[in-house]
Structure formats: structure tokens, C-alpha cells
Amino acid sequence: MKDKVVIITGGSSGIGYALAEAFGANGSKIMITGRKQEALDEATNKLEAKGIEVISFQSDVSKEEDNQKMAEAAVKHFGRIDILINNAGISMRALFSELDLSVVKRVMDINFYGALYATKYCLSEIEKNQGSVVGISSIAGYRGLPARTGYSASKFALQGFLEVLRTEMLKKNVHVLTACPGFTASNIRKSSLTADGSHQGDSPRKEEKMMTAEECANHIYKATKKRKKFLTLTTQGKLTVFLNKWIPGFMDKVVYNVMAKEENSPFK
């Protein structure tokens, strides 16, 4: 991975920042993106202090033109793009019956269309360099989670897109990885949207009992290096995917009960 140019969307915090650390520590040149310049500046300074070559680019992945400008800026600065990690994402928590549908659109625009746009404008460079496209999906992309309509739908869509891309790129030696973390400690639940689109605030789950963002990022780094097609993380995550394939009716009850135990659960 030395001297590979890696773009990480949503790279100023959480798994995105941990990925920048993991790839940068192994000699990659990093571009992190995000909507908030202050957060990007802080992350860039911390990464540079670790000896990582990094630049930031302020952009909103849900805007197609921002993704085009992002790819152009990376090529202008580094001269190439080798790896794109579609990490930027947002979650939500509300029952579908109570949900303002604009929340679903907002989640889809970031989690699905953001990855679509970024990949579209980086792909020619990645194809030229026989590089990698990585999509940070979720166990929710295999198993629909109650009260996560927009999130699960966006991850199912993302995985369908990545499967198509992987197949289309088969003869062009472009690597496509679908990475599915289980519950990972990050800020995604704190910024999660509620039924009316407002931010949830505190996480409803015990973050300290989850896989750390750093551990998750190291797994993704190794899977990218080995050019793996799929990565499913945590014992709970792997078990959920396996059981849902064979006994989905039973898993409906299990998943319902698990999610209903969350603090301030929307289940009555």
C-alpha cells in the first residue's frame, strides 16, 4: 500500500478517520473528505502529526458535482487515484409508520447515491491503476433492522451496486470490496436521524462494548491489501448473516427483541 493514493469519504471521524490512520501508517497518501471544514482540519493535523501524508477536501457526498470536484482535486494534487473507500454514511431510528419519508431520502442520498457519485468520478483512474473500490456497508445490508428503514434500504442498495461493479470490472482487474462491520463504536448513532429528521443525540447502545473503529479499520485495511471481495465483522454480525439466510422467520423475532431492548426504543 506504500504510495497508493487513497480517498476516504467521511474521513474526519469514526471508522473513516481510523481508516486514514491505518492506510497512512502503511505509507499510503490520503485524501479525507467531509462537510465540516473545522473537523477536517482537526483530523488532518492529527494525521500529519503521525507522519501521514494527507490532504482534506470539503464536500457533500450527496451532491454529484462535489464528487466530481473531489476526484479532480485528488488527481491534481497526487497525480492519480488508486483506492476509493466509500465510508461516508448516516443512520436513522424510527418506525416506518411514524417516519417522515424525507428522512429516508436523506439517508439514501448520502449512503447510496454518495457512493455511486464518488465511484463514478474516481473509476477511470482506479481502472487505469487496477486499484480498489471499497464500500463500507453493514450487517444491515444483509438483514433488515426494524426502525432502520432508510439505513437498511441504503445498505442493501449499496451492496447490489457493488456486486454489479465487481462483476463488470472482472476482466479489468479492479478490486471491489464489500465490507460489512457489525456494531462498531463510532459517532454514527449520535448523529442518527429521528422520525422528523432531527438528530438523535446520545447513542442508544453501549458503545464501550462494541468493536473499536481502529480494530474495524485494520480489518478493512488487510482485506483491501489481500483484495478480498467480502468482509463481515464481529461474531454477532457473522451469526446474524448466517442464520438469516437459513431461518429468516426465527430471525425476525430475534432481531425484533434485540432492537426493542435499546434505550428509548421506538417499539411500544
Max distance between CA atoms of the chain, in angstroms, equals 55
Q: What is the pLDDT of residue 192?
A: 81
Q: Which of 17, 142, 151, 221 is catalytic?
A: 151
Residue 151 annotated in active site: yes
- Does 5-260 carry CATH code 3.40.50.720? yes
Would you place residue 17 in the very low, low, confident or very high pLDDT band (cuts 50, 70, 90)?
Answer: very high
User: 3-class DSSP state for residue 214?
Assistant: helix
Q: Predicted confidence band at 96 (pLDDT cuts at 50, 70, 90)?
A: very high
CA 213 to CA 197: how far, in whole Å?
Answer: 26
Integer Cα distance of 245 and 236 in angstroms: 14
187 near 14, Cβ under 8 Å? yes
Helix (H, G, I), strand (E, B) or coil at 57: strand
Q: In this structure, how many other beta carbons lie within 10 angstroms of the beta carbon of residue 255?
A: 18
CB 68 within 8 A of CB 76: no
* Cell numbers linked to 160: 447490489
| Distance, C-alpha 219 to centroid of its chain | 14
**Any idea where the domains of the chain sit in the sequence?**
5-260
The rounded mean pLDDT for the chain is 92
The pTM (predicted TM-score) of the whole model is 0.92
